[in-house]
Amino acid sequence: MPASTSVETIRDWIGLSFVHGAGPALFYHLINRFGSPTEVLNAPGSVAKEIGSLRSGYLAELSDTGRLRRRAERELSELDKIGARALIRDESDYPELLKHIGQPPPVIYVRGRRSLLNMTSVAIVGSRAATSYGRRVSRTIARDLAWSGLCVVSGLALGIDAEAHAGALDAEGATTGVLGCGLDVVYPRGNQRLFERIKEFGLLISEYPLTTPPEGYRFPARNRIIAGLSRAVVVVEASQRSGSLITVQYGLEEGRDIFAVPGQVDSVKSAGTHWLVQQGASLAVSAADIVEQLTIDPGCRTAQVKDCSDSRPTLRPELEELWSMIEPYPQFREALLQRSGLPPEQFNEALLVLELEGLIETVPGDRVRKLTDGSR
């Protein structure tokens, strides 16, 4: 279908998708049987015979096709008001990779930079209750992938997802947030600012119409879109029962490359990623591992991000000496104070400077650790 798809055609795709309970399987069954959503809506009597064995609720909605079309027209009008757009599967702008998954969304709603739709993308997913290690690694890998010219896809959840989006935005790169609710619904509320940044500088995608609430059952379906848009799925931190593994399963079904980032061997937050490595997922300790395996030309931006990540501020001699004593693994602050030989006030001031420079972080238990790459 050409890019100049008629408004009426788009309206009918949306209208048919509005039939309660008519998921992608039934949607495609009907258009394969009748030829198009328009033909389905034009022949409610024939459709009733075709799906007569299904719930009568479908028949009741399909018998009032005028109502479905009017609702779809209102949806298109509301989308236009917020600068969003509906894309049907048969349009040329519809993402090519997503178009070929098992059950692509018949309609996707997009808001933001639509030029990102067919960029080469990598998904980063993981725990909502992420550790400081997981958040930092997610942000760093996403930043470097964005610098390499890739679009970072995630689900705009708390934790790993949020850090992945933020890392791509830090690099002034591309990121796509896939929602389990309508494009005008911010969820979780704590990601309001991030939502606004992605809306302005990235892309938001949903298969759900405006005002759709973020109900739990929608998120596993959302995960198939995250995997479907992406060449690879990277799991940064996940327990063995993490929802991120649903995204991995969708990725495997669609032939996507799967990467897992290692964590501490005794951390339950990394048990899922370690299990993935045992099952054959590729180990990723940096964006370079991902770019190299996908055989993607990273372009000229990679050298820039390497220079940035390998550098750190020039420190005064006493700060340099203290920083050299701090290890990547957490150390008790009191033991470090004794080892440094500094007066407590000077020691505390030095730690504060190092933390503000993004060279160390404090962790629970009155401990500190070095950020080995010198980044926040």
Residue 356 reports pLDDT greater than 90: no
**168: Cβ contacts below 8 Å, ≥ 6 apart:** 142, 143, 145, 146, 151, 152, 174, 175, 202
Model confidence over 88-147: pLDDT tens digits? 999 999 999 999 999 999 999 999 999 999 899 999 999 999 988 899 999 999 999 999
Closest CA to 98 of 199, 24, 192: 24
Which pLDDT score is estimated for 228? Answer: 98
pLDDT of residue 265: 86
Does residue 48 carry a pLDDT above 60?
yes
Give percent of the chain above pLDDT 90.
69
Determine the pLDDT at residue 26. 85
Strand-pair category, 367-370 with 331-332:
antiparallel
**Residue 30 — pLDDT band, cuts 50, 70, 90?**
confident
Report the share of the chain in percent with pLDDT over 70. 90
Pick the CATH number of 317-370 from 3.30.980.20, 3.10.20.740, 3.40.50.300, 1.10.10.10: 1.10.10.10
At 54, the pLDDT band (50, 70, 90 cuts) reads low
Q: Quick check: 324 pLDDT over 50?
A: yes
**What pLDDT was estimated at residue 310?**
45
pLDDT recorded at residue 372: 62
Provide the phi-psi class of 166: left if phi over 0, else alpha when psi is between -120 and 50, else beta: alpha
Residues 361 and 314 sit within 8 Å (Cβ to Cβ): no
The tens digit of pLDDT for each residue in 361-376 reads 888 889 998 876 544 4
Q: Distance between CA atoms of 321 and 353, rounded to whole angstroms?
A: 13
State residue 295's pLDDT score.
77
And the tokens for 258?
């799967």
Task: Report the pLDDT value the prediction gives residue 77, as an integer from 0 to 100.
Answer: 98
Distance CA 277, CA 289 (A): 14
Look at 70-84, 272-286, 304-318, 337-351 and tell me which has the smallest mean pLDDT: 304-318
pLDDT tens readout for residues 217-269: 899 999 999 999 999 999 999 998 888 999 999 999 999 999 999 998 888 99
Mean pLDDT of 36-50: 83
Q: Mean pLDDT across the chain, nearest whole number?
A: 89
Does the 114-309 domain belong in CATH 3.40.50.450? yes
pLDDT of residue 369: 87
pLDDT at residue 307 is higher than 50: no
Does 2 have pLDDT greater than 50?
Answer: no
Closest CA to 57 of 26, 14, 89, 90: 26
pLDDT tens digits for range 121-130: 999 999 999 9
Q: Which of 86, 82, 122 is nearest to 105 (CA)?
A: 86
Q: Determine phi and psi for 142, rounding to 5 degrees.
A: -65, -45
Average pLDDT over residues 182-207: 97
pTM of this structure: 0.82
Write out 187-209 in H/E/C secondary structure: CCHHHHHHHHHHHHHCEEEECCC
What pLDDT sits at residue 53? 54
Measured in degrees and rounded to the nearest 5, phi and psi for residue 304 equal -65, -45
Given a cut of 80, is residue 5 above it in pLDDT?
A: yes
Q: Please determine, for residue 1, whether its predicted confidence score (pLDDT) is greater than 50.
A: no
Q: In the predicted model, what is the mean pLDDT of residues 7-25?
A: 91
pLDDT for 112: 97
